[in-house]
Amino acid sequence: MNDLPRRVSLREVGPRDGLQNEEPISTQAKVELINALSATGLRRVEAVSFVHPKAIPQMADADEVWAQVRRSPDVSYSALVPNQRGLERALAAGFTELEVVVSASDTHNRQNINRTTQESLAALPELAAKAHEGGATLQLIVSTAWGCPYEGEVPVERVVWVARQGMAAGIDSLAYGDTTGMATPTRVVQLVGETRSAVPDLPLGLHFHNTRGTGLANLYAALQLGVDDFDAAVAGLGGCPYAPGASGNIATEEVVSMLEDMGVETGVDLDALLEVAEMAERFVGHTAPSQVLRAGPRSRTVQA
């Protein structure tokens, strides 16, 4: 086994990515979810996205949610912005960590934000400049990094080209999204390796979905390469409204359970997180895909 990072940084994306493919839940429920997640030891939470309500109605109350959240001084909160208007709203709300998504697949980008990939990339320099002027950082999330539901395979060269364009535009960090769970460990190793050769100075995070059951295996492959920045969603919620077949993110509690047992620190209280996962499941009104939520932590025993 290669040496693993001593500690990883987890970004909880349940309140945004986890809810965008669900039936809308109440503003109060979203606030309760974010507040509860903030008390589990998580240090990063993606709270809302400032998108047009017609595009993602589940996020129509982003301003109201953020205004009511009890913000922990120990937690960094981020927001997703699709364009300049969204960025302006996020800055006005006080966010200092922003994310913008560009699909490596042209077809998915058109479906998602009605632009070609090139058109989205052309807007990045101004977005990055405005974010920096407003005292915020901007992360580029490259979705469909390991495949597209419309186009199938997305060449590694295409994904790395998008990353290069982002660096040239002035982004602060990079994340790759496995939008429909098409990644496998060997593909993860290849893309991470090519990216580090092309843009070695850009901090890299990874966002895996468990659509085809390879989420934790992909995370472990990345961990062996020294990657220590991952997204996950409480209860394994998530999906993309513009990616047919996209199911949940890797579950935060499954990541915490596995890593802590491997001696990799997360800083997260698993028991507290499982309580929040149960809350999230109640809010969305259906059984969530998390296996650890069903089985409990390894320390749980039953009477013989």
pTM of the model: 0.96
List beta partners, residue 139. Answer: 99, 173
Joined together, the tokens standing for residue 33 give 């979810």
Under-50 pLDDT residues of the chain: none
Write the CB contacts of 77 (distance below 8 Å, at least 6 apart in sequence). Answer: 44, 45, 46, 47, 69, 71, 95, 97
User: pLDDT at position 246, please?
Assistant: 65
CATH number belonging to domain 9-295: 3.20.20.70
Where do the domains of the chain lie? 9-295
**Interval 277-298: pLDDT, tens:** 999 999 999 999 999 999 998 8
User: pLDDT at position 112, please?
Assistant: 86
- Catalytic residue positions, numbered: 240
User: pLDDT at position 215, please?
Assistant: 97
Count CA atoms within 13 Å of residue 39 on its CB side. Answer: 14
User: pLDDT at position 46, please?
Assistant: 98
Instruction: Report the largest interatomic distance among the alpha carbons of the chain, rounded to a whole angstrom.
Output: 63
User: pLDDT at position 303, please?
Assistant: 73
Placement of tokens 């560009």 in the chain: 102
User: pLDDT at position 219, please?
Assistant: 98
